[in-house]
Structures are given as structure tokens and as C-alpha cells.
Structure 1
């Protein structure tokens, strides 16, 4: 858990330490930058030892590219991983953990400037010195991004040599083969994507300084994680989607946790030096605590923020690692009887030790540091040094694990069925009533998203209640009903049969667009989070600031515009089902996840504009909302009837080649899907129309009550003035006569 901030100020803590005769020498404040290289050193040490002891890297009877390639490739992969997560950790710290400017009151001054000064004065005041740790983070991130690009290119070249069994060469024939590998083979495309992403990130990080620009740069760098998850050897095997998603979540957790720790070590001495100076941060307070009582040294604030990030990373890494290992082994007995299983156990043990050290940080060392207890300050940085050594060792084991064949075969058997080849899974049983409740195939990406959303909402609900605030239990229940339905749509029978039945796919689509968003929007998550999250006063953007920034951004103004929301909602159907996009979302794993995300967000925004209470830049009047609904209802009916009357099979290469032995023919099932689209589209639309009508009536009552209160206050002055105007006009007419 996140440590409870002490109400003792940093200055009083230092006073107690001084009175006890204890001081913190300057050279003992934090860790010097050179300690970040402990991570790759430990990683390479564990990598080479495990490869040598277990014989993982021995030459094979098949094509062998030689000793140089066999040993250089895992070394390059280890260094590549280090530079990649270093870039992500640096960007993450820059956008949300350390302030951009040295003045800790920058945010408050900026708000005041917006009202009191001219544009020229505001611009002059904003041109202030950047905070040294912020500059150091971006310089470190830029250097690591350049190294990441070079190492990604090395991994690409060495990986081709390893796969082809040919030593690296500079001949034109070898270059031509390498080009063909990049352009025609999936693994080559994915590795080339990583090279391109690294190069673009390296370019951006040199010039971008705005927090939104750095946020987008971080988001772009995450594409490399997707590429690695798709190209990892777990992308084959028995549960393709489960393997890819769990590996992607694992890599994300590593980037947040390990990358953040590397960034923390790199700036630790700089932020620790602020303990003795005036550069402290003031965190906002609520209730009876004042801002002064929450004042804390920079190092304490940075460590507290990172501890929350590390906890999330630890949970993500541990759970996703267990899931990924289970997908790639036939039984748990193979954990102890195979080299692969033994490496998994070793990696898990190191991860749990790291989690225990992190718990020690949060529960004891960081609070002790805030109290000014010098012994604990030294202990904290020592523990962090141990942590980075163990993280490096775990990273080295991970690369060794990636070069170890898992027990579950990764290639399709020679007698694989057509449905197995096309969808990655065997044909499910014919659906009867029971199968719609018993058939599950967990999409671990969406399971993780749903668990996170459930935890965040419940945390905010409890915090608001404890602070004496009010929040409807009905909205709480609505949110969790929406999450439950989302889990069923993404992991239940609809997801299973949606791969082989167009009709089930259509129900999945309509549920994501028309049913699930209604419950989620009624939960009003943004409003609840804004009530629960405390604003920061040091110029950094925490979760609350990022939410507000996104809500009021130009992008938000576009997508929540009622016309855009309606066109996007209706136009998505045509784009997905009447263009080659349908083949993309069915064939490719990224396309499938994109389809779910797009339909869910599209439906959420449409419902938010119509019936939501969360803040958005544009919300139309009630008459226009009803017009939007009527148009949507008619559009769904039109598209549904069009599908019912078609004789051409959509995505024929997919639904026409599955060899399904039960149910309707592919074309008849498509027509059933069109009728379901028509029917499912009507019911939620009518429910939303009723809700819009109720909200309209409630709004009219509120307006009327407001006028009534105004009349009571001013004695109906507006009506009297209106009548006096007519009397005056009448008197003028009388005088003219």
C-alpha cells in the first residue's frame, strides 16, 4: 500500500536528526549516476552464466550461424532491453513524477498569471529554468534512445543470421536476403518496426519539451512492446492470444517497474540534494491538514510516487508471468522437470524478492526518510541498489528464458484443421443454451484492464465516502455491471463463437457499442476520480491533472462534438464491415484488440454525449440528442436490412473456409447477424431515448425551481419590469393620441 504521508515537515525531521548529532554527508545523498550500469552488468552476468551452465546456447545439428552470432544475439537483446526500458522510465518520470520547472509554485503562478497579466508578461514568466533532474532525465533518455536504435538494428541483423543459419556478411546477396526477411517474414517486420520506433523516439526526445509531447512520445515508444509481444516465441503455441497478451502485459510491467527504477537511480543524487535546500514540494491536503503540514523533501515525494508505480508494475509482472508460463507448459510438473520450468521458477523467486524489497520501501524506509532518520535514509538507497542488481539479474534470466524452447510446441501440427490454421484455435462445440455460459477463453489484456478499472473505481468510491462525500451506490453498481458485461463480451462465449460465427461476432460488436457503454457511462468514472484525486501544487501532472488535460484538450473537443460522435458511431459500421478492414480485425491479433477498443470507445463517447454527467467540452441540447437517436436507429435498421439481403459473403476467406460442421451456412449466418444488428440496435436506442426524455424533464424542473427561487429573492422583478415596459409603451401611445 502507498505509505501515509507524515504530517511532520521535512525541516523538523532534519532538526531532530541534527539535534541527535547525525548528518548526511553530501556524498551519501542518493546514488551516483554510474550505478545505473549495475543493471546491464548484472543482466549480462546472469545471462552468460545461465547460457553456459545450462547449455542453452550450444550449437545445433541444423543450420548454425557460428559462435559469434549465438553469443552476440542474446547479449545484444539484453542491452537492447536495458536501453528500451531506460527510455520509457525517463519519459515516465518526466511527465508525471518530477516537475518541469525549478519553481515548485509554477502551476499556481501560472493560474494567477492567466487572470492578472498580459500575454507578454505571462510568456516572460513562463520562460524559467527547467528543473535539473527533469533535464537530466531527458538527456539520459535521449542517449539511451540513440543506443536503443543501434541495438535494435543489431538485434535485427543477428536474429536473421540466427534464423537463416548464415554468418553475418556484407555481400550483396546477404543484404538482399536480409531485406526480404524484413519485408516478407512476420518476425522481420516486427523487428524492423522496433528499429523505426526507436529511431523516431530518439529524434523526438531531443526536441520535445512539452509534457503532452513527451506523453505522446512515451505512447509511441510503447509500440515496441506490442511488436516484441507479437514477435516473441510465445506468439505461437496452443493459446495464441493468451500468450501474446500475457507477454505484452509482462513487458509493460517491466517497463514501468524496471524503467522507473533506472530513472530513479539516475537522478537520485540530484533529488536528494534538495533535502537540505529550499527546493521542496508541497503536496495538496484536504480536511484539517494544511499545505505546510504536508511539505516534504523532493526525494521523498519522488520515492512515494515511484512506489505506487512500482507496486502496479510488480503485480502486473508477477501475474502476467504466471499466466504466460502456464500457457507454454502442458502441466505444472514440467516446472521441475524441464530447463524452461526451472528458469521460470528462478525468475519468479527473484521477482518475489524484489516485491518484498519494494514493500520494505513503502512501509518503513520511505516514511523514515521523511521523518529525517539518517540511518533509514542510507538503508533506503542501499536497498534500492540491491533492487537494481536483482532486477538486472532477472532481466538476464528473461533473455535466457526467451532462448529456451518451451514444453508446448510453438508450431502447428501437420494435421491441423482449417479452423485451427485460420483462427489459432480448435472448433468450439455447437452452441446450445449451456455453451453460452460455459465457454470461456480469457483475453488477458482485457482482464487486466477490467481489474484495473474496478480497483480504481472502488478506491475512489471508498476515498470519497471516507472524506464525507456523497456518491450514489446505483452508479457504483452500474459501473461494475458494465465491467462484468465487458468481461463476458471479451472473454466469454461471445468471444469464443465470434471467431467462427458472423452472428456471434455481430452480437459481440453491438454489445460493445450499444449495451456495455450505457452502464459504464452511468457510472460517471471521471467525476468520481476528480472528487477522489488530490490536485498537485508542484507543477507536475498527476492522474488528476492528466484527466483534466485530456478532458479539455482539442482532441476531446473534436471527438465529443455531437456531430462527430454520431458520424463516428454510424460510420464505423460501414468502415469495418464493407471494407477490407473486417479481414484485418479478424486475421491479426492487433486488429482484433483494436476492434474491441474502437467499438467500446465509440459507443462510450456516443452514450456520454447523450446521457452522461462526466465533464466534456460539448454537450448538445435535449432536442438535438433525440434527433441523433432517431437517426442512429434508422441507420442501424438500414445497415441490418442491407446485410440480410446480401448474397455476397463478408470476409469470405475467413468465414467461408472454417469447415464448421454444425449450424447455419456461412451466408445464412451472415443474414442472421444482420437481423441481430437491427434488433439489438433498437432496444438500447429506445432505452437511451427514454433516459434522455427523463433527463430533459428533470432539467426543466431544475430550471423552473431556479426561476422560482429567483422570483422569491427579487419579488418577481423580471416580470414586473416586463409589465412596466408595456405600461410605458401604452402611456406613450396615449400621449400621441
Structure 2
């Protein structure tokens, strides 16, 4: 791409952001009576935000394109980064460094904007450092910079595709702090707003960054262009659906009524929606009309068609990024910013009413992060089963029911009564914990998702890394090999109880949306690893003999019961500051509720233990039956050689015993005769 064209594209988002803010008054002096930070901050903040978003998008998209869509230079180099893939990953590394630098610049600009202090004023540097280390907004920006720096170093240092994929995954994680600082993150239902914003950022980064990567790589792909474009088109289609779903969710959260669309915020939201819809329509047209012509086109025709395919889309998506920055700098309608109560400020939602028997089934509060993931995994599993059925293969119904049932219980745990009351009552938190850490993983492991994926996903023949290849790489990675060992999985399952409940991690998970997500992920993964070592059939686990598995079940669940009993006897209130700060006027006291939660933790360990023990016994019997059948088949092929050898051994043992008896009898007879001769001589 010519440098003037690249520069024009990079300047599009900040130009659009500043232009829209100028039209809407977002660059004005702010509220009357408050100090203004100066024109440099007013202009520099949206421009730096736009450039930060672009560099983050390029980091994610370039790596994703290189490690999932592009073929290697040759099959002998499929695991190494060479040629075009190397240059794209290097480009992502440089973009990550720019992302880190712009995030640090945003620390200073954001503090200047919030405090009214102009850049370079006396003591500004010390105050900005204090802001970055003491306030959530500053920590988010600093965390984003740190993650981007690690991504940049990893991308430039890696030599293999797998490590580049790790850098890409880490870059996706780095988008989370950006979502925490986005518009709507500080309002009521801020957890849903953050979840929707994060999904939007991930989809747009994969979509837009990959599109720019295609523009950069189009001239060098040659014959590999059609396959690469088709793969990217599939990725872009899923990203468009995710952008649409996240946009609808964000609009519902931030707008109280359709009348709010007439506000400045609503107008910018409509403009952004129109841009996304135009991109979706363009992608659909290209997918149906343009991409099929790429396969048979000559080189010159391929390049011409490709340029028409991406030029307009890149411009629109960059303009939409600038619009998003202007939207981020524009407050929602005043009706969406009513003062928050104490419960709303702490929980992000209204304090639920008293917990009765009906509320166990009727209380629901959607978890915007985990519920869509659970639904997507169920749909993907069902799609894989249907694919097997269509080609004539079978898949056990019991495994499908286990997978669906596991995720259904998980959705109830995070969005049902345990999710609605888990941050209000310790007892309901313990119900949520036990469901996620014990029952759900057992059902998911019985679904054998990796085995199903290996049978349903297509293998790529050109050496590129598709979903099947990445799944195999993850299953056989050194990290999975270590975590899949029984001792490690059992220790992780047990040690996490002490490390979580007897440190500040428990209160962090209650107070922080990020901490709550990490807590849920940890308990789910730890339980899955432990159950996979005991009753799983998927590859990647080191499963001990069945007697050792039975011993592991007794030791681990015995320790879990001991933990519950010790908590019942404890007089220390866990996360007392959090629970006492909630305006809860109903229910038991903190001590009684903690005792109830510990009792439930003990009691609720029984049915997962029974389920695990039943499955373990069943698998043990099945393994013995298979071993007998295998032995019988082998004997039939070998003419009962082992049976004949066994009979020969018994015959030899019998002959040996007969000889021993005869020798013993002979020695006894000789001894009797010797004793008789001695008696005669004495006589």
C-alpha cells in the first residue's frame, strides 16, 4: 500500500471523531464554573482514543489473519512464521507498541480532562502517576498499556505460529480494559454494558484489523488469495453477527425509550448503526458475487477485484471507529443518568427482594458475559452433531444430553437465583460455586466435546491453522499436558478453595465485575480438569488406573467436606466489609448466612460425588468388559496361544510339584530306614 494512502487511512478515525465532536459540541468548554484543561487536551484526547482503538484493532486483526487464514510458504514451514505471515505478525507487534504508548498518553490526557489541569502544569506528572495507580480509570489504562507491551514483545520475538496465536489471544484479553473505560461502563447495569462493549470490540478488531491485513497482503498472496478471502469472509460474517447483537444490547442498556434516538447520543448511535449495516450488506454482496469470481480470475483481475472488495469497506470501518470515539465522548440522554442508590452503585442492579422458595425458580438476572458463551457452545455442539448425522455417522444421545444439561445448569447458576443473590448472600454464592465447580464440569466432560470436534471439523490441507488445528495444538500443548495430570488437577481443585476464600480474592470477586468473571472461569476450568482426569474420554488428560481414581475422589471430596465443616465452625465473617455495606434489610444475619452457606457447601457435595462415583464405577466395569473382549478376540486370532501357554504352565507347575513330593517321600523313606537301622544296632 502506498504510504500516502496508509497515512490517510490512519488519520481517518481521529479526523471523523474530532469532526463529529465539533458538530455536537463535544469539544466545548464543558460545564460552567469548572476549569477547562485547554485546547490541547480537548483535541488530543479523542484523537489519541481513536488512534489507540485503531492500533488495538490492527494488533488483533493482523495476528488473527496470519495465524488462521493465511497458508504457509510451504508445508514444511507450516509451524514457522516466515514470509507474509512473519511480516503481518511483525506489523501487529509494532501496532501493539503504538497501542501501549497511546494508552500511556491517554493516562495523562484523561487525568487532564477529568481534573481540568492543563498538560505540563506544575506538579502534573506526579498527579497523573497518582491517578494511574489509585483510580480505577487510570488502572484500566495502565493495564491496557502493560498488556499491549507484552503482546508487542511476544509478537516480535516469536518464531512459531503457536506462540503468535498466544500473542493474539493476549491481545484479545487486552481489549477488556478498553471496554471497562467505554461509554456506559459507569451507568446502571454497567456489567451488561461492559460485556456488550467487549463483544463489540473483539468483533470489530477481528473484522477491521483482518480487513486491513487483507489489503496489505493482497498483492503478495497470488494463487492463495481466494482461499484466504473465503476464510476471512467466514470470520467476518460471524463478527458482523456479534457486532449486531452487541449493538442492540448496548442500545437497550443506554437508551430508555425510542425517543432518546432524537438526542445527540442517539444520532451518533444511528450513524454508527448505519455504517455497520452498510458493511454487512457489502460483505453479503461480496460473499455471493465477488468471491466466487476470485477463484477463476487471472492475476490482474484478481488484484482488481480484491481492491474493489476491500477499499470501500476499510474506509467505512475506520470512519465507524471514529464515530465510536465520538459516541464515547458524548453522554447518554439525561433520563439514562438518574442518581444511583447504594445497592445500584455496589451491585449494578436493584437489591433483590427476600429469598423464598419461589425465587429459586423465578429470580433471573442475565449474565451478559457467560450466558451468550454457553448458548453459543450449545449451538456449536448441536451443529457438529448434525454434521456427523448428515454424513452417516452417529453420536451418542447421552453425550448430547450431558452437554446441554451441563450448560443449562451453568446458565441457571450465573443468571438464575444463584446469580441474582450470589453477591448478596454468602449461602447463594456457595450454591453458585458448588454448581459451577462440581456438577457442571462433570456433565460437560461426559459430553466429550473435543472428540466431537475432532470428528466434525474439517482438516486443512494447505498447512494453515484452522479451528481443528488450533484445538489440537491447545490439547497437546505443554500447559495442557501439565494441567491434565491428576495430581496437578486435584491440587488445583483443592488449593483454590483456600486461596480464594481465605484471601482478599473473594471480596474482589464480589466488588469487581472482572474479578467475578475470573472467579467463574477458574472454578469451571478447575472442575473440568479434575473431572476430565477421572471420567473423561477426550484426549489431553493423563488418567491413572481406576483404583487410583477412586482414591482421588475420596481425598478431594473429603477435603472439600473438611473445608465446609471448618467454615461452619469459624466465627470470622468472610468479605464482611462487602456484605455489611449492602442495604439488605431481610434474611439471616451475616454469621447465620455464612453457617448456612457452609452447610450447603457440605450437603451439595454429595450429589456430585454420587454422580462422579457412579460414572467412575460404570467406566471401570466397561473398561474391564472391553479388556475381556479384546483378549477373547486376540485369542481367537492367535489360536488360543495364551490359554495353551497358561495350561502348559499349570502342567509344568503340577509336574514340578509331583517331583517335589516324590523327592520328599524318598527322603522320608530313607530317613525312616536310617532310624530303623540305628535302633537295631543299639538293641
Distance 1:408 1:722, change over 3 A: farther
Unaligned stretches of 5+ residues in structure 2: 664-683
Match of 1:452 in 2: 376
Paired residues of 1:33 and 1:266 also in contact (CA < 8 A): no
Size of the aligned set, in residue pairs, is: 658
Tell which structure's C-alpha radius of gyration is larger.
2
Cα deviation for residue 694 of structure 1 reads 1.1
- Residue 408 of structure 2 aligns to a residue whose secondary structure is helix
Q: Does 1:144 align with 2:95?
A: yes
Q: Does 1:309 align with 2:279?
A: no
Match of 2:46 in 1: 74
Match of 2:292 in 1: 367
Distance 1:657 1:51, change over 3 A: closer
Cα deviation for residue 411 of structure 1 reads 7.1
- Residue 349 of structure 1 aligns to a residue whose secondary structure is helix
Paired residues of 2:155 and 2:167 also in contact (CA < 8 A): yes
Question: Which structure would you say has the larger RCO, counting Cα contacts within 8 Å and 6 or more residues apart?
Answer: 1
Paired residues of 1:33 and 1:267 also in contact (CA < 8 A): no
Match of 1:628 in 2: 552
Q: Does 1:51 align with 2:24?
A: no
Paired residues of 2:268 and 2:327 also in contact (CA < 8 A): yes
In the alignment, the residues of structure 1 paired with residue 148 and residue 130 of structure 2 have an alpha-carbon distance, to the nearest angstrom, of 21
Q: Does 1:386 align with 2:325?
A: no
Match of 1:103 in 2: 74
In the alignment, the residues of structure 1 paired with residue 243 and residue 29 of structure 2 have an alpha-carbon distance, to the nearest angstrom, of 32
- Deviation per residue, 1:609-649 (Å, 9 max, x gap): 22211112401211111111112332222122222222221
Cα deviation for residue 462 of structure 1 reads 1.5
Measured on the aligned residues, the alpha-carbon RMSD in Å equals: 2.3
In the alignment, the residues of structure 2 paired with residue 199 and residue 532 of structure 1 have an alpha-carbon distance, to the nearest angstrom, of 37
In the alignment, the residues of structure 2 paired with residue 356 and residue 33 of structure 1 have an alpha-carbon distance, to the nearest angstrom, of 29
In the alignment, the residues of structure 1 paired with residue 601 and residue 359 of structure 2 have an alpha-carbon distance, to the nearest angstrom, of 22
Match 2:66 to one of 94, 103, 117:
94
Q: Does 1:603 align with 2:527?
A: yes
Paired residues of 1:95 and 1:211 also in contact (CA < 8 A): yes
Match of 1:163 in 2: 114
Match 2:333 to one of 407, 420, 427:
407
- Deviation per residue, 1:642-690 (Å, 9 max, x gap): 2222222111001122231111111101111011111110111012101
Paired residues of 1:41 and 1:392 also in contact (CA < 8 A): no
Paired residues of 1:50 and 1:400 also in contact (CA < 8 A): yes
Distance 1:667 1:81, change over 3 A: same
Paired residues of 2:509 and 2:516 also in contact (CA < 8 A): yes
Match of 2:169 in 1: 219
Match 2:606 to one of 682, 685, 689:
682
Match 1:692 to one of 599, 608, 616:
616
In the alignment, the residues of structure 2 paired with residue 471 and residue 362 of structure 1 have an alpha-carbon distance, to the nearest angstrom, of 33
Paired residues of 2:354 and 2:587 also in contact (CA < 8 A): yes
Match of 1:327 in 2: 253
Paired residues of 1:365 and 1:376 also in contact (CA < 8 A): no
Match of 2:128 in 1: 178
Distance 1:376 1:622, change over 3 A: same
In the alignment, the residues of structure 1 paired with residue 25 and residue 334 of structure 2 have an alpha-carbon distance, to the nearest angstrom, of 20
- Deviation per residue, 1:396-416 (Å, 9 max, x gap): 1100000000126787837x3
Please show how residues 55-66 of structure 1 align to structure 2 within 5 Å: 55-60=25-30, 61=32, 62-66=34-38
Please show how residues 505-544 of structure 1 align to structure 2 within 5 Å: 505-544=429-468
Distance 1:640 1:149, change over 3 A: closer
Unaligned stretches of 5+ residues in structure 1: 1-30, 111-125, 276-297
In the alignment, the residues of structure 2 paired with residue 444 and residue 34 of structure 1 have an alpha-carbon distance, to the nearest angstrom, of 42
In the alignment, the residues of structure 2 paired with residue 457 and residue 730 of structure 1 have an alpha-carbon distance, to the nearest angstrom, of 60
Please show how residues 411-426 of structure 1 align to structure 2 within 5 Å: 413=339, 416-417=341-342, 419-426=343-350
In the alignment, the residues of structure 1 paired with residue 3 and residue 608 of structure 2 have an alpha-carbon distance, to the nearest angstrom, of 58
Cα deviation for residue 508 of structure 1 reads 0.4
Cα deviation for residue 214 of structure 1 reads 1.3
Distance 1:133 1:460, change over 3 A: same
Q: Does 1:338 align with 2:263?
A: yes
Please show how residues 247-646 of structure 1 align to structure 2 within 5 Å: 247-271=197-221, 274-275=222-223, 298-335=224-261, 337-372=262-297, 378-407=304-333, 413=339, 416-417=341-342, 419-646=343-570
- Residue 605 of structure 2 aligns to a residue whose secondary structure is helix
